[in-house]
Amino acid sequence: MSGIWGNNIKVSIFGESHGHGVGIVIDGLPGGIKLDMDYIKYEMDRRKPGKSKLTTSRKEADEVKILSGYFNGKTTGTPLCAFIENTNTRSRDYSKTKDLMRPGHADYTGYMKYNQSNDYRGGGHFSGRLTAPLVFAGSIAKQILEKNNILIGSHISSIYTQVDETFDYVNCNEELVKNLRLEEFPLIDKSKADSMKDIILRAKEEGNSVGGIVETIILNVETGIGSPFFSSIESRISSMMFSIPAIKGIEFGEGFNMAKMKGNESNDEYCIKDGEIRTYTNNNGGILGGISNGMPIVFKCAIKPTPSISMEQRTINIESKEETSLSIEGRHDPCIVPRAIPVIEAGVALTLLDMIIEKKGLEWIN
């Protein structure tokens, strides 16, 4: 089933943006894991909509109700089901787009795939809202990884044409990675914040939207996680990232830049540092043959501009099969990038946890 993901920790996501709510069932977690609810709330708040002018104005508390699998502050080991209510739907915004297919959104493909029965309100099951339960599951995975010293951090690598610095792929500072999680608009070079925010607000004023790139680093992953062929770290992370709405590209390490290098430039030469086998450079992003090599795992995700814009665009009426035009009203993120960051981190945390359990078993968790 398309809504189910994972080998050892299996997750199943359900819900629609304008239905009762959205949620997730997590199967495979062992019993006895203490959950830090403040940590979960913090991650949910990082993603929730309606926080500033830079985001959609739809306000949701995104409070998680745990329906099963949790007792006396610990997981029970049986399926953990979490539900997040939709409290601020405004479905009239979508009466116009019932028949007018929004360019760049999933209205047309959803209509065709589901026998014209898709819930088009708010994008239904295709909405970015479905990433709220993913953040819940990922915040459990992140807690488990952090207890084992595995740190995940991300920053805004670019918004439209404005670019931040990149992580140091070899000697990335742990404090920097930890602190990024505390920032609403995480950047390495904080002096770029104003110009990036201006770009987003200007696009919004024009009835338009912008996209950008998120760079993520994972520190302290031991050597030997991942396996060829289809369980390579790149393929597993990519399958998760491309499940997140609006992510349209991914590269690991120097990725596409490597195509412009020669072998002697792209190879990461080996060295011994503090008794450990390391590499001088990390163009391969910590992965060789699909397996972690002990260097930081680094990847970038390209996020497209938000499809729903008020600027007039050409489209079709799916009922009458006529060409027409459309100006979308409603509450939309002028840029998805800042809110996608906790989602990307949650997705990669789940992926890594699933892959580590593959190698080390469930005992590793407790």
Ligand X SMILES: C=C(O[C@@H]1CC(C(=O)O)=C[C@@H](OP(=O)(O)O)[C@H]1O)C(=O)O
Ligand Y SMILES: Cc1cc2nc3c(=O)[nH]c(=O)nc-3n(C[C@H](O)[C@H](O)[C@H](O)COP(=O)(O)O)c2cc1C
| 53 assigned to a ligand binding site | yes
The single-letter code of the amino acid at 148 is: N
The residue at minimum Cβ distance from ligand Y is: 128
**Between residues 35 and 336, which has the closer beta carbon with respect to ligand Y?**
336
**Between residues 85 and 222, which has the closer beta carbon with respect to ligand Y?**
85
Please choose, from the candidates 207, 92, 137, 112, the residue with its C-alpha nearest in 3D space to the C-alpha of residue 348: 137
When asked if residue 338 is in the footprint of ligand X (CB under 6 A), the reply is no
**Tokens in use for 275?**
């008794």
**Between residues 127 and 351, which has the closer beta carbon with respect to ligand X?**
127
Contacts of 179 (CB under 8 A, 6+ apart): none
- Which of ligand Y, ligand X, none does 60 bind, CB closer than 5 to 8 A by kind? ligand X
CB 266 within 8 A of CB 257: no
When asked if residue 132 is in the footprint of ligand X (CB under 6 A), the reply is yes
When asked if residue 209 is in the footprint of ligand X (CB under 6 A), the reply is no
CA neighbours closer than 13 Å in the CB half-sphere of residue 115: 0
Question: What character string, x for contact with ligand X (CB under 6 A) and - otherwise, covers 81-110?
Answer: --------x---x-----------------
**Can you tell me which residue has the tokens 């010293």?**
149
R_g over Cα of the chain: 21
Question: What character string, x for contact with ligand X (CB under 6 A) and - otherwise, covers 222-251?
Answer: -----------------------x------
| 167 assigned to a ligand binding site | no
When asked if residue 125 is in the footprint of ligand Y (CB under 6 A), the reply is no
| 308 assigned to a ligand binding site | yes
Please choose, from the candidates 62, 68, 103, 96, the residue with its C-alpha nearest in 3D space to the C-alpha of residue 82: 68
- Which of ligand Y, ligand X, none does 162 bind, CB closer than 5 to 8 A by kind? none
CB of 226 vs ligand Y, minimal distance in Å: 25
When asked if residue 127 is in the footprint of ligand X (CB under 6 A), the reply is yes
**What is residue 320's three-state secondary structure?**
coil
When asked if residue 127 is in the footprint of ligand Y (CB under 6 A), the reply is yes
Candidates 41, 148, 330, 362; binder of ligand X (CB under 6 A) is: 330
**Can you tell me which residue has the tokens 């029970």?**
76
**CA distances for 240 relative to 230, 262, 352, angstroms:** 13, 31, 11
Burial of 113 (0-12, 13-18, 19+ CB in 10 A): exposed
| 47 assigned to a ligand binding site | yes
Peptide bond just before 229 cis, omega within 30 deg: yes
- Which of ligand Y, ligand X, none does 343 bind, CB closer than 5 to 8 A by kind? ligand Y
Rounded CA-CA distance 126/354 in Å is 24
**Between residues 203 and 340, which has the closer beta carbon with respect to ligand Y?**
340
| 332 assigned to a ligand binding site | no
Contacts of 281 (CB under 8 A, 6+ apart): 169, 170, 268, 269
Q: How many CB atoms lie within 10 A of CB 126?
A: 19
Candidates 13, 46, 56, 160; binder of ligand X (CB under 6 A) is: 56
**Adjacent-strand bridge partners of 326:** 313
Question: Could you tell me which residues are annotated as the binding site for NADP(+)?
Answer: 47, 53
Question: Could you tell me which residues are annotated as the binding site for FMN?
Answer: 125-127, 289, 304-308, 331
Binding site for ligand Y (CB under 6 A): 56, 105-106, 123, 126-128, 131, 244-246, 304, 306-308, 332-333, 336, 339-340, 343
Binding site for ligand X (CB under 6 A): 17, 49, 56, 58, 60, 89, 93, 122-123, 127-129, 132, 245, 330-332
